[in-house]
Every structure is written in structure tokens, then in C-alpha cells.
């Protein structure tokens, strides 16, 4: 599957447009068109219904996007995730300043009081980890003649973090891939969160942030829900909503954008049952994608390595999809312990513990967080659905959406535009439209109308022909198999409902439309 073809189809069929396109677009922002908004809404509705409505242990919430800024101090987004970045002028590489380590030599005795320093980058390493890599790097620099002094003449170095080196001394540092000192820029802050001001006057005192995740709105409402929702642990709170992040580099269509929509669950449970619930959600959420049409082996469930985990998490798994641009994360299921409630308890000074009636015990619940990207899911469903088939020797482009997700559920066609067929089609269309999003098309050849709907992912076509006028039956046509069968017009609403709910297409295998 070619990403360009999908982007082009999305544009052509009104699924996804570049944001504010007539002004040249805006990097990292996209708009959903008439078909796209239906698709995405169906995905969100399916998620909500399966995870909230149909369950006894889940409730929903819808929090404001802008919250008290202290929320983001507690969550760590203000302090922790504004990573300073360092660029190398020589090699054009970029590093996170907090991951750079430096060999610091005191050359005062042999080099006119100058302190000469060398640096090497590590990914997430500690000072001790850095030592070996730095030694290798020094040997390498020495061999290539980039050192001012022979390696054996150097004094014993001290391993320090880049950020701890005084600014005045930093021009003596050789970058991790550079050959000369002084090519690293000063660290520049990378602001993850969008900032704004609550109130007409913009100053520091009223600075606010657009939320970078929906999760914190759930945590800060935990007490409210417990106090008013008649909920008992174990239970979860779900939320669907927009979030905003200043990604360094938005890329890959709607996969990484700066404004995006999340579908998140925070599931609160007893500490000693958390591992079980983690296993449960890990499995349940993976199956959800399969049940909605991602049946290929492009869907993966990957457990994080221990060194990949956030410090507060004891287990995390990613649901990944093999997109044309690579394998990327659709949803993360994280065992977060009591970290978040603990943080908010600390920062707000409010007691967020839960009294367990059964155990007669008060504790801070542990949390399992299945956090899904609505736009990423939409893209995965699009990629999975996109196919180029052969029908009667002709290639057709078809989006094989699960009927539950398809933007249009059925299209109604008069076979030709005369003999009462358009009138009968119109009536059937009106009847169906009371129940489903259906579409009517009487223009052009019937084959073309079928193909148009194939491209929009419409699972069923209903055609009114000459026989319909005499005996009142209409022809149903299945998108995936192109198979056809007749149904009395009076039963069309129920027949379509059955099909959308997974009833097999007559005369063949169900084609996996369960």
C-alpha cells in the first residue's frame, strides 16, 4: 500500500484535507471532510460503546482542555518534558542536552590553564554507562589526530553531565560526532505544551496550557467521580477528547500531528489486583482492533523492555500497526501504579485515597491506562481497508471497512432513470435514512456507481430494477464479494440492520464481517 495513494484518495473523496488549505495549510494540522468525520465518529462511537456504555465498571467524563496549570506541574509536563536540545554545527546532529555526557580533563598544568573537554552522546544512559563510550571515542579521536595532546599524556578525566559544565567552558567540548571543539549550540528549550493566557491580558500570572493528554483530567476528577458516581473499585473512567503537543516534527499524514484526539481509560483497582487488570486490558484492547477489521499481521502487541519503562511503571505494552512508513504505536496500555493519584495528592494537598468497603481498608488505587489515539486508529483502519482488487478484469480501489465503521452504510440506486425506478429508490432511501447513514445516486452507469461507493467503503448497494416495480424486491450487493441477492423492499431496513450487525452475506462465506 502506497501512502501517497491513500492521501490522494482521502483528499479526493473528502475524508481528510490539509488544514486551512487555501492559505497554504499549516504544518501538523489536518481537517476531516464529510466522509472522514463519519469514519472517525464511528470509531469513537464504537470505542465509547464498547468501553463505557456496554460495561458496568466504566463511566465517562469530558474535561476542559485548559486546566489549572498546577495540574501540569503535578503530572511532570511543565518541569520534565521541556527537554533542552543541543545541535551540532559541524555534523548537523541533534541531541537531548540531558543525555549528553562529557569527559572533563583539567589541563591547567599542561595547556595554559585551559580546560579541554570531550563529549559523547548516549541514549538515556547514566554517567557510569557513559564512561566506556567516552573512552572509545577518545581512542578514536586520538587515532585520527584530532587531539591536541597524546592520549597517554592526558590526566585522568572526570565524567560529568553536559548541563553541569559551566557555559564558559562549553566551547571546549567536542561534539559526539564532531572532530573539532566548539561546534555544539547552547541548549534550546523544547516546549511540549501549547501556551495561552486565560483572560484578556497576557502575562505570566495567567499563563495556561492546552492539555497534552486527556488522562490528567480524569485523575483530577477521581475524587469527584468516587463521591458522586456510585462507583466501586475496580472501575474505570473513560474520556475522548482533543489534546495538543508541540511535536518537534509532525510527520506521516495524520499519524503525528500537533492537534489530535485521544481515547483514554484510567482503570482504578486494588494494588494487589493491578497486574491482573493490566493483563486483562492488554488483551481486551488488542482484540478490539481485530474485531473492527484489522485482521492482518500488521497489528502487533509489543511489551516494553524493562529499560524502556517510565520509572513509575511496572509494565507497559504498545499496540502497534505496520504503516507504510513503518511500525508505529496506536495505543499504549500502561500499568502506572499509584503514581498519578500520588502526585495529585501531593500537589493539591487533597486526600485522594479510596475507602474499600469490602476490605475495610483505605488506600491509593493503582491505575491501568489504555490510551489510544483516535486519529492514529483512523489512519490504521484506512490503511488496512485500502485495497486494489480485480473485478471482471478491471482494477478497482476499495476501502474494506468494517460495516460498523463505514461512513456510509448503504447506497440506493435506481438501475436506470425511468419507469418508476427513481421514485421507488427515493422512497426506499427515505425509509433507510431514518435508521442509517445512506446515500442515493441515480447518475451514470450502475457499474460506476458501485465503484464510487467501493471507494468510499460503503459495504452494501441496493438497486431497484424493472423486477422491483412488479414484485417489490430489490437487489442487495456486497462490497467485498460483489455478490448479489434479492430482498423484498419492505424488509430492506431489517435486512440491512442484520447485515450491519454481522449476519453473513447469502450464498457465501461471511467474509469476516462479524
Partner RNA sequence: GCGGGUGUAACUCAAUGGUAGAGUACCUGCCUUCCAAGCAGGCAACGUGGGUUCGAUUCCCAUCACCCGCUCCA
Site for RNA in 218-237 (CB under 7 A): none
Q: Which helix (H) or strand (E) element contains residue 70?
A: helix 70-75
Asked if residue 12 binds RNA (CB under 7 A), the reply is: yes
Positions in 370-389 near RNA (CB under 7 A): none
Asked if residue 206 binds RNA (CB under 7 A), the reply is: no
Q: Rounded to the nearest whole angstrom, what is the least distance from the CB of residue 227 to RNA in the complex? A: 27
Which residue lies nearer to RNA by CB, 339 or 354? 339
Positions in 387-426 near RNA (CB under 7 A): 391-392, 394-397, 415-419
Q: Rounded to the nearest whole angstrom, what is the least distance from the CB of residue 70 to RNA in the complex? A: 17
Instruction: Give how many residues touch RNA by CB under 7 A.
Output: 71
Q: Looking at the DSSP assignment, which residues form a beta bridge with residue 207?
A: 197
Which residue lies nearer to RNA by CB, 114 or 451? 451
Q: Rounded to the nearest whole angstrom, what is the least distance from the CB of residue 478 to RNA in the complex? A: 8
Q: Rounded to the nearest whole angstrom, what is the least distance from the CB of residue 157 to RNA in the complex? A: 24
Single residue of 54, 64, 123, 360 touching RNA by CB under 7 A: 123
Which residue lies nearer to RNA by CB, 85 or 110? 85
HSE-up of residue 47 (Cα within 13 Å, Cβ side)? 28
Which residue lies nearer to RNA by CB, 219 or 354? 219
Single residue of 172, 181, 250, 337 touching RNA by CB under 7 A: 250
Contact 502, 509 (CB under 8 A): no
Which residue lies nearer to RNA by CB, 8 or 206? 8
Positions in 36-75 near RNA (CB under 7 A): none
Binding mask 87-106 for RNA (x = CB under 7 A): x----xxxxx--x-------
Which residue lies nearer to RNA by CB, 320 or 338? 320
Contact 79, 73 (CB under 8 A): yes
90 CB-contact burial (10 Å; exposed 0-12 / middle 13-18 / buried 19+): middle
CA 170 – CA 102 distance, rounded (Å): 10
Which residue lies nearer to RNA by CB, 415 or 492? 415
Binding mask 290-329 for RNA (x = CB under 7 A): --------------------x--------------xx---
The vertex-453 CA angle with 514 and 470, nearest 5°, equals 90
Asked if residue 77 binds RNA (CB under 7 A), the reply is: yes
Contact 76, 197 (CB under 8 A): no
DSSP 49: I
CA 149 – CA 26 distance, rounded (Å): 51
Positions in 449-488 near RNA (CB under 7 A): 450-452, 455, 463, 465-466, 475, 477, 482-484
Which residue lies nearer to RNA by CB, 1 or 3? 3
Which residue lies nearer to RNA by CB, 154 or 330? 330
Asked if residue 505 binds RNA (CB under 7 A), the reply is: no
CA 324 – CA 338 distance, rounded (Å): 37
Contact 470, 464 (CB under 8 A): no
Q: Rounded to the nearest whole angstrom, what is the least distance from the CB of residue 8 to RNA in the complex? A: 4
Q: Rounded to the nearest whole angstrom, what is the least distance from the CB of residue 256 to RNA in the complex? A: 6
Q: Rounded to the nearest whole angstrom, what is the least distance from the CB of residue 270 to RNA in the complex? A: 26
Cα-Cα-Cα-Cα dihedral sign, residues 325, 327, 330, 332: negative
Q: Rounded to the nearest whole angstrom, what is the least distance from the CB of residue 296 to RNA in the complex? A: 20
CA 38 – CA 405 distance, rounded (Å): 8
Q: Looking at the DSSP assignment, which residues form a beta bridge with residue 411?
A: 439, 461
Q: Looking at 34-42, 231-239, 243-251, 402-410, which segment touches RNA (CB under 7 A)?
A: 243-251
Q: Looking at 137-145, 226-234, 446-454, 502-510, which segment touches RNA (CB under 7 A)?
A: 446-454
3-state helix, strand, coil in the chain (%, to 5): 35, 30, 35
Contact 198, 325 (CB under 8 A): no
Q: Find, among 200, 216, 198, the residue nearest to 208 by Cα.
A: 198
CA 172 – CA 111 distance, rounded (Å): 12
Give the strand pairing for 315-323 and 299-303.
antiparallel
HSE-up of residue 39 (Cα within 13 Å, Cβ side)? 30
Q: Where are the alpha helices (DSSP H) in 144-197?
A: none
Positions in 130-189 near RNA (CB under 7 A): none
Single residue of 104, 223, 245, 335 touching RNA by CB under 7 A: 245
Single residue of 198, 202, 248, 290 touching RNA by CB under 7 A: 248
Contact 218, 61 (CB under 8 A): yes
CA 418 – CA 414 distance, rounded (Å): 8
Amino acid at each position: 500500500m502506497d501512502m501517497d495513494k491513500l492521501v490522494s484518495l482521502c483528499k479526493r473523496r473528502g475524508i481528510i484535507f490539509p488544514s486551512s488549505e487555501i492559505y497554504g495549510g499549516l504544518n501538523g494540522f489536518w481537517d476531516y471532510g464529510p466522509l472522514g468525520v463519519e469514519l472517525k465518529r464511528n470509531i469513537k462511537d464504537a470505542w465509547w460503546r464498547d468501553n463505557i456504555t456496554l460495561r458496568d465498571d466504566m463511566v465517562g467524563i469530558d474535561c476542559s482542555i485548559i486546566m489549572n496549570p498546577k495540574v501540569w506541574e503535578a503530572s511532570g509536563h511543565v518541569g520534565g518534558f521541556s527537554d533542552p536540545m543541543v545541535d551540532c554545527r559541524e555534523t548537523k546532529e541533534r541531541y537531548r542536552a540531558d543525555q549528553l555526557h562529557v569527559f572533563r580533563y583539567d589541563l591547567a598544568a599542561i595547556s595554559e590553564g585551559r580546560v579541554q573537554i570531550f563529549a559523547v552522546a548516549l541514549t538515556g544512559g547514566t554517567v557510569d554507562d557513559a564512561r566506556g563510550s567516552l573512552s572509545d571515542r577518545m581512542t578514536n579521536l586520538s587515532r585520527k589526530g584530532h587531539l591536541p595532546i597524546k592520549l597517554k599524556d592526558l590526566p585522568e578525566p572526570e565524567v560529568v553531565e553536559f548541563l553541569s559544565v559551566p557555559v564558559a567552558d562549553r566551547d571546549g567540548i567536542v561534539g559526539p560526532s564532531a572532530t573539532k571543539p566548539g561546534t555544539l549550540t547552547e541548549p534550546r528549550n523544547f516546549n511540549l505544551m501549547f501556551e495561552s493566557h486565560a483572560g484578556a491580558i497576557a502575562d505570566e500570572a495567567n499563563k495556561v496550557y492546552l492539555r497534552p493528554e486527556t488522562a490528567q483530567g480524569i485523575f483530577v476528577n477521581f475524587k469527584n467521580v468516587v463521591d458522586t458516581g456510585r462507583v466501586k473499585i475496580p472501575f474505570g473512567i473513560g474520556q475522548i477528547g482533543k489534546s495538543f503537543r508541540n511535536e518537534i516534527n509532525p510527520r506521516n499524514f495524520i499519524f503525528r500531528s500537533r492537534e489530535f484526539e485521544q481515547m483514554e481509560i484510567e482503570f482504578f483497582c486494588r494494588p494487589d489486583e493491578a497486574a491482573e487488570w493490566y493483563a486483562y486490558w492488554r488483551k481486551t484492547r488488542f482484540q478490539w482492533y481485530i474485531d473492527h477489521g484489522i485482521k492482518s499481521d500488521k497489528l502487533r502487541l509489543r511489551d516494553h523492555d524493562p529499560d524502556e519503562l517510565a520509572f513509575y511503571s511496572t509494565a507497559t505494552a504498545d499496540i502497534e500497526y505496520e504503516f507504510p512508513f513503518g511500525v508505529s504505536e496506536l495505543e499504549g496500555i500502561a500499568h502506572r501504579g499509584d503514581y498519578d493519584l500520588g502526585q495529585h495528592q501531593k500537589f493539591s494537598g487533597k486526600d485522594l485515597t479510596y475507602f474499600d468497603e469490602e476490605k475495610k481498608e483505605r488506600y491509593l488505587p493503582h491505575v491501568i491506562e489504555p490510551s489510544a489515539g483516535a486519529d492514529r486508529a483512523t489512519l490504521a483502519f484506512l490503511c488496512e481497508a485500502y485495497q486494489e482488487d480485480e473485478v471482471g478484469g478491471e482494477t478497482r480501489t476499495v476501502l474494506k471497512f468494517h460495516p460498523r465503521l463505514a461512513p456510509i452504510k448503504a447506497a440506493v440506486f435506481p438501475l436506470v432513470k425511468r419507469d418508476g425506478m427513481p421514485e421507488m429508490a427515493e422512497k426506499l432511501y427515505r425509509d433507510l435514512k431514518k435508521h442509517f447513514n445512506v446515500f442515493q445516486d441515480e447518475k451514470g452507469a450502475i457499474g460506476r456507481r458501485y465503484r464510487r461507493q467501493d471507494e468510499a467503503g460503503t459495504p452494501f448497494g441496493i438497486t431497484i430494477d424493472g423486477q422491483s416495480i412488479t414484485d417489490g424486491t430489490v437487489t442487495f450487493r456486497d462490497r467485498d464479494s460483489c455478490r448479489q441477492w434479492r430482498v423484498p423492499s419492505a424488509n430492506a431496513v431489517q435486512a440491512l440492520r442484520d447485515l450491519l450487525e454481522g449476519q453473513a452475506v447469502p450464498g457465501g462465506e461471511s467474509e469476516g464481517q462479524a
